[in-house]
Structure 1
């Protein structure tokens, strides 16, 4: 039974890897692409739809602005990709935007970027999984009726897969990602061939529907605002671009060059798919709306609540390949799958960022530790937990979650590019080689354009999405920022407090030893013998009297054994055990402030969880109180019972002379105190 948890862990995660095997987890470009780029590649499944839904607010006529908005997003993507190619060469350590902002703009800017990225990574998991559930829910009724349960189950599956290690999860995710890319590109090529060469008219399943405009006769600033809102929604296609700059250490050598090449490949593929889907959607007269039950009309009548709006990608696939055809089913299947797996970008970015922040003292240090499979297990679990809570809070509704999206990523984009401009300015002041100076100035121009562009988009996103849910992110980011500052202050305060001083190496004047006694038995006698072996300045046994007759019998037994240590009985009129001992120890300390007091607690080790229920654990509570007393040392003297011995495979307890060490494998045995008055 003791090995059951370890067995389950090994079955789910695989055997533990040595630290020396870390190089085996490094990724070639063909595996790194699906790991770090699954989020921006999969955004083609929802970014075009979000763009057209925003335009549909003013009616189908506003779809004419779609190509121009798509072109603006493509140009923005090109600028961001070019900018981040500079980042991965200049900062290959894996700190990404956080490191760039911290080094060039200061710690507060770095923490602002970190808080933005952490929020965005959590939202990436929530949005991607919820979108995948929405896509597959139309084909599988149970998932459509229980989206929250389905989304949480997918998050658990992704978490377990990532806990198995970066390389293994990458191999698992590579096939679905490439299958999606090949399927969408094939659909775009075939669709363009049908329109341009064969002269076919593509017709989407919703081409016969009309869009009832929510806003009529828009003009001036209202039109501009609507177009900007559509642009900000379509910018969801850029999420995840920064993940490669955070994951440079995971690449094979040469790390920076491989990361830059992967970034370029990701940008080219994402832009091609995004433009192709937008073009085919407009050519086939796709109709989507934010409130389809009311805004979509067939023969003058709204489609009603029973209408299920198909995702734009499946509508385009239906127009290109035919509804129900094998290619159509293929596109629908890989789209749902890639949306689930798109969350993997966050599973690789969040733990690495958390590890770096923990190293710098801004997050708990446990996040800096790698797990059995050399993955940052604690960061993966925290990400999954936060994403699961978000999915539950928003009931896995993509329309609500998408409003919170991309604010954080554009904060990091902007500050990172401003930081890179300062990076090049600093290096140009000392660089004298003309060729290198030309390269630096060209890079500075790229980053300056990137910072200006993403800064403008950030303002647009905040204005157009603030009242639709982005305000939640604007509250969450400062809270995370303040939390990280508080954690750093705590670590700094502890470090300052623990700095050695001259007094720390001075030996205490004397050591007063106290052995706690509840009754006379083997654990008590062992603790007494161990305390004597330490040769303290003074030694006494102490018990608390909660029953006069019992205390008298204990004194008689003590005297009968002729033990060389005096027994002191503390009176407790209110039948408390902890307070009289604490008061007595404090009294010893007051009499001799320069001395130390060592309290020896006999306690036995049990092997079954249910044995804890049979003991009141008074010594454990006392130990917890004593730990807060200055100048007091607490020593546990364990005695393993037969149940703990059987955990080690022994047929019977060892003899008196045998060594009694705790089990080295299996579940951690419990401890029961011998001061429990059983």
Structure 2
């Protein structure tokens, strides 16, 4: 095993056979943290965004916080109820993309796919950037290096996911469950203290907030509506990640759709409980929270300016500090697991993006390499592509969550709307074909749920576009358009290639003649082997070709050719400018022009070596020549390998790898017990 193979095995683990795909499927207890970590982690920033938006009118506007949270919760429950219908109707994992494509057409499906791809990239960028901000607050050395820390975290997550869905899910399950315990436990304890009248105020409770410019003074009805709409659209960040379960149904154990629907329900109940509890506690503890870039709007109780370098802690941090005022370990536990979950929240995208990419590749809308599973049966190319795009976004925006959040949720609500419209058409079409009364009632109930969901998500989409478009959402729209055009172009390319490659009767016609040429550099064993192989194919014409760049070497070759009395003619192509490739290509083209219905067969002797650095010393001219000849119509290129002694190194390395005893070989009957124990002992000794 080479150095590269050893490194790959350390990073990814041992290879898995395709037949082991069933062993990687997820039970509900693992699927919940794998697919729901993004939606659950939004508790760490969605309430903050609500308070930031309301703070532009001063602390008095915080009275609307719980009502905004309740509106967001209603939308989330509606969306989850709608997606429960989707996972039952379309359990193949296409999710919104499949629903839109089947019921609304190809362009609608590509639009949904574009929206989801952009949103997945933003999910990783926002979550990791937020975690980097938390880390910089706890570790001063990271201040100013948030983008670097976030990029490292993305690479780390990608490496974990390359090890496979099930194995990565085990890594993420414990931190996600700890986050649930931390937030729910903190909120339960805080609400208990509220009921007994023992809940302390937050550290920022004695501060005042100056209204933003243009928002001071009594608000008109229109201004109040705009304010609440902005707060609501920011709070809807809590809905991101909900759609990932519908895209990941194939990763669930059987019954897949039932388990996915149950996981969706658990996600909704937990997320709504956590978010509403945090908002209520923040309001009762009189938290004051503004945009970090407008910290100067915070004033002391006497109206004075806060000291230079004042640090505003996130909402959850302030709640934890107050609730656990006499128990510091509780505070540090909450803050630690919150920072971890923000990193792991990106795992939802790392599971959804590759699956969606593989489906798009199968439909001819994305490079087919995205549909290939890696050594650990994960869609490795999709994982790497997502990581690269996310790192690029993090670097461009310098890991500033406030800027990235403005690009967020636009794409996901576009997919929500098209998905709900597609489901309505789905139920309407099936109702026309169904006569069973009980089944018709179930379909009508499902259609009513999707209709209500469409109405809710349409309103939210309008609000989001109206309040976030100029703040940065226009970038998301442009990115979606670019993805749309790329996928359309890829689809058109694959369609044209398929039409061009379609077989017809003319493809059976044999060439009128085969003119074979064997490239000669010297008269040695590889050349003689190539001549013998070419002769065995019985071409109409066979000749050796030598490019002359040195007269003395040419004369020696001609003499040796005559001495060996070879029955194959040798043609010398003179190259006054010492070019090797061009004369051969031009000669092949001349033969082709002289016989348009014939074929030119070019045989190229090549060395087979066993070490990577030896490849740099041989076959370079052959590689360039093949690259040129492949673009020449009517020319067939054949490599005739000659194995040098060093090639045995590679062969022995591959043989050892194939014969190596793997975990599970004894149980599957691939080796006998005595042989297994002997090989195992030999591997241990090695």
Superposition TM-score tier, normalisation by shorter sequence: over 0.9
1:183-582 equivalent positions in 2, closer than 5 A: 183-196=182-195, 198-214=196-212, 215-217=215-217, 218-290=219-291, 291-298=293-300, 299-303=302-306, 306-322=309-325, 325-582=328-585
1:150-165 equivalent positions in 2, closer than 5 A: 150-165=149-164
Q: Which moved more, 1:235-244 or 1:430-439?
A: 430-439
Q: Is the 8 A contact 1:130 1:398 kept in 2?
A: yes
- Determine the structure 1 residue equivalent to 2:62: 63
Q: Is the 8 A contact 1:293 1:305 kept in 2?
A: no
Q: Deviation of residue 194 (structure 1)?
A: 0.5
Q: Is the 8 A contact 1:292 1:303 kept in 2?
A: no
Structure 1 distance, partners of 2:327, 2:297, is 26
Q: Deviation of residue 359 (structure 1)?
A: 0.5
Q: Secondary structure at the match of 2:276?
A: helix
Q: Is the 8 A contact 1:202 1:283 kept in 2?
A: no
Q: Deviation of residue 71 (structure 1)?
A: 1.2
Q: Deviation of residue 614 (structure 1)?
A: 4.2
Q: Is the 8 A contact 2:522 2:557 kept in 1?
A: yes
Structure 2 distance, partners of 1:169, 1:320, is 33
Q: Is the 8 A contact 1:104 1:420 kept in 2?
A: yes
Q: Is the 8 A contact 1:293 1:302 kept in 2?
A: no
Q: Deviation of residue 339 (structure 1)?
A: 0.7
Q: Deviation of residue 573 (structure 1)?
A: 2.1
- Determine the structure 1 residue equivalent to 2:676: none
Q: Secondary structure at the match of 2:547?
A: strand
- Determine the structure 1 residue equivalent to 2:640: 637
Deviations 1:312-371 (A, max 9, x none): 111111111117711111100110011111111101100110010000000011111111
Structure 1 distance, partners of 2:281, 2:209, is 19
Q: Is the 8 A contact 1:545 1:572 kept in 2?
A: yes
Q: Deviation of residue 543 (structure 1)?
A: 1.1
- Determine the structure 2 residue equivalent to 1:655: none
Q: Is the 8 A contact 1:294 1:304 kept in 2?
A: no
Structure 2 distance, partners of 1:543, 1:555, is 10
- Determine the structure 1 residue equivalent to 2:53: 54
Going from structure 1 to structure 2, the CA distance change for 1:499 and 1:544 (only over 3 Å counts) comes to same
Q: Deviation of residue 611 (structure 1)?
A: 3.5
Structure 2 distance, partners of 1:57, 1:323, is 33
Going from structure 1 to structure 2, the CA distance change for 1:201 and 1:116 (only over 3 Å counts) comes to same
Structure 1 distance, partners of 2:633, 2:656, is 33
Going from structure 1 to structure 2, the CA distance change for 1:304 and 1:423 (only over 3 Å counts) comes to farther
Q: Deviation of residue 57 (structure 1)?
A: 1.2
Q: Deviation of residue 616 (structure 1)?
A: 7.9
Q: Deviation of residue 407 (structure 1)?
A: 0.5
Structure 2 distance, partners of 1:155, 1:105, is 35
Q: Deviation of residue 304 (structure 1)?
A: 6.0
Q: Deviation of residue 262 (structure 1)?
A: 0.8
- Determine the structure 2 residue equivalent to 1:142: 141
- Determine the structure 2 residue equivalent to 1:102: 101
Q: Is the 8 A contact 1:509 1:595 kept in 2?
A: yes
Deviations 1:525-553 (A, max 9, x none): 22112111222111000111222332222
Q: Is the 8 A contact 1:131 1:398 kept in 2?
A: yes
Q: Is the 8 A contact 1:544 1:572 kept in 2?
A: yes
Structure 1 distance, partners of 2:227, 2:528, is 82
Q: Deviation of residue 649 (structure 1)?
A: 4.8
Q: Secondary structure at the match of 1:416?
A: helix
Structure 2 distance, partners of 1:593, 1:305, is 83
Q: Is the 8 A contact 1:424 1:441 kept in 2?
A: yes
Q: Which moved more, 1:121-130 or 1:614-623?
A: 614-623
Q: Deviation of residue 190 (structure 1)?
A: 0.8
Q: Is the 8 A contact 1:527 1:601 kept in 2?
A: yes
Deviations 1:541-566 (A, max 9, x none): 01112223322222122112211111
- Determine the structure 1 residue equivalent to 2:667: none
Deviations 1:583-604 (A, max 9, x none): 1111111111111110011121
Q: Is the 8 A contact 2:190 2:199 kept in 1?
A: no
Instruction: Structure 1: give runs of 5+ residues left out of the alignment.
Output: 651-661, 667-678
- Determine the structure 2 residue equivalent to 1:127: 126
Deviations 1:624-676 (A, max 9, x none): 000111111001112233333334459xxxxxxxxxxx98969xxxxxxxxxx
Structure 1 distance, partners of 2:619, 2:566, is 28
Deviations 1:250-305 (A, max 9, x none): 11111111111110010000000000000001111111111243222224344366
Q: Secondary structure at the match of 2:174?
A: helix
Q: Which moved more, 1:393-402 or 1:136-145?
A: 136-145
Q: Deviation of residue 612 (structure 1)?
A: 4.7
Structure 1 distance, partners of 2:284, 2:601, is 83
Structure 1 distance, partners of 2:619, 2:629, is 18
Q: Is the 8 A contact 1:132 1:337 kept in 2?
A: yes
Structure 2 distance, partners of 1:616, 1:89, is 56
Structure 1 distance, partners of 2:326, 2:573, is 86
- Determine the structure 1 residue equivalent to 2:167: 168
Q: Deviation of residue 490 (structure 1)?
A: 0.8
Going from structure 1 to structure 2, the CA distance change for 1:288 and 1:90 (only over 3 Å counts) comes to same
Q: Is the 8 A contact 2:186 2:323 kept in 1?
A: yes
Q: Is the 8 A contact 2:33 2:177 kept in 1?
A: yes
- Determine the structure 2 residue equivalent to 1:676: none
User: Which TM-score applies when normalising by structure 1?
Assistant: 0.94
Q: Secondary structure at the match of 1:598?
A: strand
Cα RMSD (Å) of the superposition?
A: 1.7
Q: Secondary structure at the match of 2:402?
A: helix
Q: Deviation of residue 607 (structure 1)?
A: 3.3
Q: Is the 8 A contact 2:175 2:341 kept in 1?
A: yes
Give the number of equivalent residue pairs. Answer: 653
Q: Is the 8 A contact 1:293 1:306 kept in 2?
A: no
Q: Is the 8 A contact 2:199 2:323 kept in 1?
A: no
